[in-house]
Chains A and B, each alone.
Chain A
Amino acid sequence: MTRLLPRALMAPAVVTLFLWMIVPLCMTLYFSVIQFNLLQPDQRAFVGLENFLYFATDPSFTTAVLNTLLLLGSVIGITVVGGTAIALLTHEPFAGRGIVRVLLISPFFVMPTVNALLWKNMMMNPIYGVLAQVWQAFGAAPVDWLTDHPLASVVVMVSWQWLPFATLILMTALQSLDREQMEAARMDGARWLQQQRHLVLPHLARPITVVVMIEMIFLLSVFAEIHTTTGGGPGDASTNVAYLIFKQALLKFDAGVASAGALFAVVLANIAAVFLIRMAGNSLER
């Protein structure tokens, strides 16, 4: 009875998720070894690993993998560092803290497409964009963000979206920081910075893992922002793996290669996740 009940309760979630994972996965596996272009549905020969080979030999492949990792790394870096800083800044009460919080978390509610359009058109446009105006106001030549720093621009947009998320989680985590620990450190002669470094940061280790994990899942599959703004370019300067797959699937309509790419992405994600998940798992359990 006590063994059956939990299983029965978990069954719906486990079964649906299993199906949700396994059915597309199997189909993807199948597609990945046949020649399957949506535009030529009649030619479905078995091609073995050719699709994988084709995907992996794409001239943009290396760049895409690097960009994926770069995007992942920098957004996580920015959001964690920025989020921690903002959380610390807004930790103790001050005038209008409620409003400040509302303003801070708003970007999280913005759809990725709107986010991309907003930045591309109204912020980063080299002629009308707000940034260009600001640059000009200071007498500098406006920067053509999307052309000259395409990946950095994408990083900015994505970070803008996820920074509030990190802030929110870290902000709440700070509230559970033991006050007496901080006081003990003060008694031990620690100054503000030392308190942050020796106590606050270690305390935030766990929420930071949470942030990193959730963000990783979403960041590995960023493509709306790229598609809407740089289209992966110039060249392949802002192409990531998800966008590469997107191109295969919805531009070339090559479901075979796209499937191979998707499987590759799963592998990539798992490699990135394995040590992360271990870390998170441990820190979640403590």
Chain B
Amino acid sequence: MIWENILIYFVVIPVLTLAGLAICKNIKQVRAVSIVGASALMVLGVYVLIEFLQLRAAGNVEEMLFRGDWSWFEPLNIKLSLGVDGISVAMLLLSCVIVFAGVFASWNMDPLPREYFMWFWLLSTGVFGFFIAIDLFAMFMFYEVALIPMYLLIGVWGSGNKNYSAMKLTLMLMGASALLMLGIIGIYFHSAADGNLTMNILEIAKNNAIPNNWQYFLFPMTFVGFGVLGAMFPFHTWSPDGHASAPTAVSMLHAGVLMKLGGYGCFRIAIYLMPHAANELAWIFLILTGISVVYGAFSACVQTDLKYINAYSSVSHCGMVLFAILMLNTTAMTGAIMQMLSHGLMTALFFALIGMIYGRTHTRDIRKMGGLMQIMPFLGVGYVIAGLANLGLPGFSGFVAEMTIFVGSFAHADMFHRVLTIMACSAIVITAVYILRVVGKMLYGPVYDDHHRTLTDAVWHEKFAVITLIVCVAGLGCFPNFFNEIIYDSFAPIIKALGAF
């Protein structure tokens, strides 16, 4: 039975929460149900991690653990296949944390808290489903489930130019998923030489039957398809507008988890299944993602809206993820996953803080703020910590991820990769520029607006969300080897596939 597989509960819990929310009567019940759901997920996430580690320690070397297949659409041999490796486990944990913190960050959501949380949980369902599935169809389905709630979350609860942003975001991401759908169907039809077509990633990889010329066609489709969600230049423009308009927790969830779907899909589908094209075409996308990295950082330098700054910063950091993935070696790819975790946590932290600050000052224009550190020290310190983590301070996750990426990227012996790597390295300087600019203008200095003097510092649920995230960021930064080892080993099959060419 499907219920015997632990992974399915990553989807069941959000769905049950969704159902629970449907019968809620007031905001207290809504919060209670959400917290119960989020905590259950958290517990499940940790449990799966422990179980995973124990299985691995017991010498289980299968590529995916907790495997299970249930026939779904038989005529096309579509199954609901579940399974996780170290990477998925890491991503699941990340999602658990962000969802958990997100619930607290949207504590006082107004209006329509119930509807808000229902969309929120629908989105979570998609995210978790995506990470546990290893069947192309199921992955794609969950992927789209995760995308569409964004429209209403931004449209209804957003601010500013929200209609435009929500529409742009949805259309661009859906446009990308159109490419993706073509790619997936294409992969499906070339998945086996003997006619036993399959959507199961493991089998496709094992069959290794996609002809080279088809790989050249399908690889860009899938890579761009996922790359748009990973904010790859020049398809990143949904990100600044979308983030700027989205409510706090939505930005958190979006930058924290949803954008990770892009990077995860890129290597799990595009690179893993089409290693030949990945080897041959990587350079094109390396250039694009390299541009993303630097371009996002430079663009962030002159923005005045806090959310825009972080959105462009996300472009830069997520560009780094794709950049590292395209380096096609274990170290860099491990770095990419670390960067995903790190960026997910940091950006979530950032957006949570920005939301809290915005909720008080009612402006996100850094020119109209100043000296907030004196007024709301907790949020100020949180912001500084987030900023320092973002610019890659050792002891926080960003440093670990970036260093792993750079060391991995530099393992290529040719000039092209080297130059790109150094270019990407330079982004860390620019990151420092824009982070310190914001911190300096907004938090330090004299108080700009005397009305701000009456503002209050964070309340308990805000503090809780912020501290949870900071602890995670610092934990990952201080003890990186724990996750590093889990992730590192999981790349063996992918690297093997890449090396086969």
- Chain A complexes with chain B: no
**B residues whose Cβ falls under 8 Å from a Cβ of A:** none
